């Protein structure tokens, strides 16, 4: 299946696709929220050829090892931060976003509060749902991953990472919220920098973790809606940057 | 180890035990919250003799089967709702609380918002931390359980149950909140009635679920502080009852 992320960056009331509207409305009643329908990447078969090196290990359920910043010769350059592929690209932090958009076809959505609607949650692990989120003058990478840390027991891991330095990341707080059927689950934390590896964040379990049973309780017709909000945690620092 | 639950039903500012004060203060800064230190029950060796029937199955990691209301001859009588023991007691719903206090030595705490401080989180599964909570004219049973649903991978499950009927339970919303080190995790749901079995709630995963890694992130020196709040979800019904 092709890696394909489809975004609707439009206000809910203007969306004419009744299906999406219905789904989003059931979960989030607040008008004016953006809904982003994110399809899964459950196979890397059709990934660009240069990323094929990671394919075998990912298919075996072993994620490619992280690129470490220390390994980069020019300290100004950072490796590709795409969690899907072991990509040999490296470049300045400022151009990571355009690399992710152009090479890895990861879409970007604007807005302080959005709804991330992950479809086909039933697909087997390993599967990723990925989107970039532009907000408060910065770009964030949202990763939802279905992974079998323990064989036969897939779990869902959701985290948000700043496409920026750890110092910049400390200025923000992100919130992930699930809300359905008189149940609500909220996770709030400081985002990590993409210079840290998303795989480490997930293996450390320092993110929103859902069992399959909880994910099913919050899902609707196989789709999971995650409300996302980003705020500045240190007002003075954020202002200084702006 | 004896089943022993020790409660401090006193305002934080009045507590002279510096250790508890320090711990609670780090997690919840709001003054005037009650802190209840709950010790684990990780062995049923010293359980009352009449509950010994459940001992073997619990030691094998298999919890005793639920008592079902249908099995009771007098429909007005309910079985013992203690999650720890397979107890042959049955009685009217109104006297369940006194049975739990007197026979199973489960303590009761008053207050709309309390902090449940579970100690010795490192103890092996199966382990339970249990307290009753009196609030808004009703009594609730709070259960934190460490259990290996998947062998070798213990998880923590926390839920709140009303010592009342399912119809009464629908009138309330409970919130469990973990807050430490710039991370926050909140679970909100309608409590289940104790007439439903706590084991089913946990096996369904319809509760706050924590991996060992997340539990460690929120723990401080082996203790996990859970902020608890109960509110009425249907104001008119609650008023009618009062």
> ipTM above 0.90?
no
As to burial, measured by CB atoms within 10 angstroms (0-12 exposed, 13-18 middle, 19+ buried), residue B208 is buried
Tokens 């007691």 locate to B89
Chain B CB contacts of A213 under 8 Å are 204-206
| pLDDT tens-digit readout, A72-81 | 456 667 777 7
d(CA B63, CA B222): 25
User: What number is the average pLDDT over the span B64-72?
Assistant: 43
Q: Which residue from A188, A205, A217 is facing B214, i.e. has the nearest CB?
A: A205
The CA distance from A187 to the nearest CA of chain B, in Å, is: 5
pTM score over 0.90: no
The CA distance from B176 to the nearest CA of chain A, in Å, is: 10
The CA distance from A36 to the nearest CA of chain B, in Å, is: 24
**Joined tokens for residue A218:** 């919050």
Inspect the interface and report whether the beta carbons of B190 and A182 lie closer than 8 Å: yes
pLDDT score, position A225: 95
Inspect the interface and report whether the beta carbons of A209 and B211 lie closer than 8 Å: yes
First to last CA, chain B: 41
C-alpha radius of gyration, chain A, whole number: 17
Q: How many residues does chain A have?
A: 242
The pLDDT of residue B115 is above 80: yes
Q: Which residue of A has its CA nearest to B154?
A: A150
CB atoms under 10 Å from CB of B171, counted, come to 23
User: What number is the average pLDDT over the span A84-112?
Assistant: 81
Q: How many residues does chain B have?
A: 242
Chain B CB contacts of A209 under 8 Å are 209-211, 214
Q: Which residue from B189, B217, B233 is facing A183, i.e. has the nearest CB?
A: B189
Inspect the interface and report whether the beta carbons of A205 and B217 lie closer than 8 Å: yes
d(CA A7, CA A38): 7
The pLDDT of residue B189 is above 50: yes
The pLDDT of residue B65 is above 60: no
User: What number is the average pLDDT over the span B36-50?
Assistant: 58
- Give bridge partners of residue B162 from the DSSP assignment: B140, B193
DSSP A56-75: HHHHTT-PPPPP-GGG-SST
Q: Which residue of A has its CA nearest to B176?
A: A185
| pLDDT tens-digit readout, A190-218 | 999 988 888 888 888 899 999 898 999 99
Beta strands (DSSP E) in chain B are 8-11, 34-38, 77-79, 90-92, 108-110, 113-118, 127-135, 138-150, 153-162, 172-180, 183-189, 192-193, 208-211, 219-220, 223-232
């Amino acid at each position: 299946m092709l890696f394909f992320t489809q975004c609707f960056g439009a206000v809910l009331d203007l969306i004419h696709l009744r299906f999406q509207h219905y789904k989003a409305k059931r979960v989030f009643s607040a008008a004016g929220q953006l809904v982003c329908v994110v399809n899964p990447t459950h196979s890397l078969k059709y990934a660009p050829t240069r990323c094929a090196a990671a394919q075998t290990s990912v298919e075996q359920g072993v994620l490619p090892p992280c690129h470490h910043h220390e390994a980069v010769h020019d300290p100004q350059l950072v490796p590709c931060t795409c969690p899907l592929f072991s990509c040999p690209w490296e470049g300045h932090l400022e151009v990571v976003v355009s690399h992710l958009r152009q090479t890895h076809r990861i879409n970007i959505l604007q807005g302080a509060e959005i709804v991330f609607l992950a479809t086909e949650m039933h697909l087997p692990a390993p599967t990723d749902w990925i989107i970039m989120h532009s907000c408060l003058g910065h770009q964030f990478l949202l990763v939802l991953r279905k992974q079998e840390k323990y064989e036969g027991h897939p779990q869902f891991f959701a985290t948000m990472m700043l496409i920026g330095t750890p110092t910049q990341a400390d200025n923000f707080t992100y919130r992930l919220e699930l809300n359905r059927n008189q149940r609500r689950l909220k996770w709030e934390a400081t985002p990590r920098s993409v210079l840290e590896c998303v795989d480490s964040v997930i293996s450390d379990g320092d993110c929103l973790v859902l069992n399959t049973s909880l994910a099913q309780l919050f899902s609707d017709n196989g789709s999971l809606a995650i409300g996302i909000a980003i705020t500045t945690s240190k007002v003075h620092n954020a202002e200084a940057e702006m």
